[in-house]
Structure 1
Amino acid sequence: MPPSGRKVPVTVLTGFLGSGKTTLLNHILSVRHGLKFAIIENEFGEVGVDEHVIKEDSEEQVIEVMNGCICCTVRGDLVKVLKRLRDRLETFDGVIIETTGMADPAPVAQTFFVDPEIQKDYHLDCIVTVIDSKHVLQHLREEKPEGVENESVEQIAFADKIILNKTDLVDDAQLAEVVAEVKKINSSAEMIKAQHSQVDPTKLLGVNAFSLDRVLEMDPEFMDTEGEHQHDNSISSISFKFEGEVNVNKLEMWISEMLQTKATDMFRYKGMLAVKGMETKYLFQGVHMLFNGGFEGGYKWKEGEKRECRFVFIGRNLDKILLEKKFMDCKVLSEARFNTGDKVEANVPGGWTKGTILKVWDDGNPYRIKLDNGTEVWAPDDSDDFVRSVRQKVEGGYK
């Protein structure tokens, strides 16, 4: 229980898919401010990724993860989590809730006004909405079926602070258009420009910015907890998880192929992968055509930790069977065909060239090969398309 009379402040981080919420959360946790938080993390899908990359700055920090839409089926779970944390609230300076990008913040905010026990121990301090400056306009202007909410509009409307993130990806004219469109929805929220979600945490935490009066003026039916929140049924989440490792070269080739054909429908995709031949976790994320992946961040596999791959897609009219097949095609299923010292031929510019295997699974590649001319190359896949046994000339051809 918190000290008598003290209510623990709650900050809600919201924003459409790929806006930079988890990056902002990690930034808040990494800045030296001397504060401790309980973190409630929400994923729109059965397989979570973000909870594996949230930085833990203290043993006192608690991370709770809920799957589904926090404003729908797991709203009751949010109440349960908040009540479960009550016994430890005296060790925290605040609670931070990161919602899924598909969440309407209104039902989340309602939680702190309709349950007497929650009201007693918590107060809603601020709703922070993160905006992807490059893609937000297409989502704000998207025509939805009758009765279906536009989550990106709702997230801006309920915001106390709006972070105009990824300003480095747009020019001044585009940013001005974004600002004008946002002000049409919410002219009272403070707007903060940012790149890579780098915002001073003191502008977001403990600011007592949430105003129930403002929300009721905007939405008189805010306290109607029986109202239904209807998502666009064409938008879905597809998640995969398996124990094992992938060939990162095959993965990146597939992602590139997908972006050429399905980028418009890919609102968000992210993953945490075990890559064969690498001790560091491969983290990637993307929004439409913008893809970023690599081993940056230094998240190494711990001794004894199960090496597994997690992948989440969120988008419109997703083909689950095809996506799962493409993902599983990247999995390494067998041992390498060649060993160090074996003589092989490598398919390099100019044709097949003889060489020797220097190393098996080097820097995420199945083979590192030293050609007979002294050049060193990597084979990106363990197949005859890239590396094969030395062919011997026989009567009538080669074998």
Structure 2
Amino acid sequence: MSLTASPQPSQIPVTVLTGYLGAGKTTLLNRILSENHGKKYAVIINEFGELGVDNDLVVGADEEVFEMNNGCICCTVRGDLIRIIEGLMKRKGKLDGIIVETTGLADPAPVAQTFFVDDDVKSNSRLDAIVTVVDAKHLLQRLVDSHEAEEQVAFADVIVLNKTDLVAAEELDRVEERIRTINKTARILRAEKADVPIAQLMDRGAFDLGRILELEPDFLSGEDDHQHDDAVASVSLTSDRPLDRERFNRWIGAILMEKGQDLLRTKGILHFRGADQRFAFQAVHMLADGEFIGLWKEGASRQSRIVFIGRNVDRSELQRGFEACAAR
């Protein structure tokens, strides 16, 4: 049964970009914003924790980026999402679309509900597609220990099977077969570093309400029984002092080696002594990467910020270690 509605010219298409922590959502978002498509998108980013980092990782200076921190978009900040979208509706002639990037712990069902249960949002926007990014190396384990990861796959219209370069061909086939046991209809796009053409993701009218109602018959009721894994917590740390790069590398290396299995996601924007550029650090479990991403904005505070998301995270221990990385 397909209930995909015919798009109205006055409705702004909305793409919900979801996927578990560290799958590559922000990388894909940057791909979309960097392509020479001549379109203008508003971007809404939700982060798990009180400290925002993803906004600094988003390129595309022409795009408006709205942050929603310290709560999950499918729970406590859903009202914020509605208010932001309603504000954007008032100048819809200037926008070609809206991209909503959820936290990695979001269940996409209540996010999608927003576009059907709020009358103003429903009349002025249309849910175009739920795009889920999955990490080919870690997905099978995530499907074992995370209900959210399974929901993200189940509700996807398009699945970007990312980081294919990190697994062998046989394992990649097993991952895709596992995806198909959860979602038989989504289009699967294999990718390295989220390198997927925008034409395969945006403004495709891919969302099928009929399929979603088969998954969750109460979808249009507006009610949601979504609950997070209370064992997963976020620790956000800041430092106003420049960091010593070698000291930080030794510390973070030891942390990831010792606690990497419990750390689902680590990300930060760092100010190293003697560097005029911001350094973006990211890790998924023990796999880490980092690069300088451009100059600090003139007049901006050169504050280092780092976020740890995982199980058994000890704030006091991390705080002491981070403070010890300050340059002397």
Give the percent of matched residue pairs that are identical in Structure 1 and Structure 2.
47
Residue 5 of structure 1: how far off its partner (Å): 4.9
Matched, 1:108 2:105: no
Give the whole-Å Cα distance in 2 for the aligned partners of 1:22 and 1:244: 27
Residue 174 of structure 1: how far off its partner (Å): 0.8
Segments ≥4 residues shifted beyond 3 Å: none
Give the whole-Å Cα distance in 2 for the aligned partners of 1:304 and 1:73: 33
8 Å CA contact 1:10–1:95 kept in 2: the answer is yes
**Paired residues for 1:144-293 under 5 Å:** 150-293=147-290
TM-score (normalizing by structure 2): 0.95
- Where relative contact order (Cα < 8 A, 6+ residues apart) is larger, the structure is 2
Q: Secondary structure at the match of 2:260?
A: helix
More helix by share: 2
Residue 117 of structure 1: how far off its partner (Å): 0.5
Which residue number corresponds to residue 317 of structure 1?
Answer: 312
Residue 244 of structure 1: how far off its partner (Å): 2.6
1:140 to 136, 140, 143: 143
Residue 222 of structure 1: how far off its partner (Å): 1.6
Matched, 1:97 2:92: no
2:18 to 9, 14, 19: 14
Matched, 1:77 2:95: no
**Paired residues for 1:323-362 under 5 Å:** 323-332=318-327, 334=328
Give the whole-Å Cα distance in 1 for the aligned partners of 2:252 and 2:29: 26
8 Å CA contact 2:266–2:308 kept in 1: the answer is yes
Give the whole-Å Cα distance in 2 for the aligned partners of 1:306 and 1:122: 37
Give the whole-Å Cα distance in 1 for the aligned partners of 2:121 and 2:257: 48
Matched, 1:35 2:57: no
TM-score (normalizing by structure 1): 0.78
Which residue number corresponds to residue 382 of structure 1?
Answer: none
8 Å CA contact 1:29–1:57 kept in 2: the answer is no
Q: Deviations over 1:82-128 (max 9, x none)?
A: 11112222101000000000000000000000011101100000000
Q: Secondary structure at the match of 1:209?
A: coil
8 Å CA contact 1:245–1:275 kept in 2: the answer is yes
Give the whole-Å Cα distance in 1 for the aligned partners of 2:207 and 2:32: 19
8 Å CA contact 1:30–1:57 kept in 2: the answer is no
Residue 224 of structure 1: how far off its partner (Å): 3.3
Residue 207 of structure 1: how far off its partner (Å): 0.2
Give the whole-Å Cα distance in 2 for the aligned partners of 1:184 and 1:254: 41
8 Å CA contact 2:117–2:221 kept in 1: the answer is no
Give the whole-Å Cα distance in 2 for the aligned partners of 1:27 and 1:325: 36
Matched, 1:305 2:300: yes
Give the whole-Å Cα distance in 1 for the aligned partners of 2:135 and 2:174: 13
Count of aligned positions? 320
Which residue number corresponds to residue 130 of structure 1?
Answer: 133
Residue 179 of structure 1: how far off its partner (Å): 0.4
Give the whole-Å Cα distance in 1 for the aligned partners of 2:59 and 2:291: 17
Give the whole-Å Cα distance in 2 for the aligned partners of 1:166 and 1:99: 19
Give the whole-Å Cα distance in 2 for the aligned partners of 1:64 and 1:25: 14
Q: Secondary structure at the match of 1:52?
A: helix
1:212 is matched by which residue type in structure 2?
L
Q: Deviations over 1:206-262 (max 9, x none)?
A: 000001011001211222323321111110111112323111111110111112211
Larger Rg, first or second structure (1 or 2) = 1
Q: Deviations over 1:162-196 (max 9, x none)?
A: 00000000001110110011101001000000000
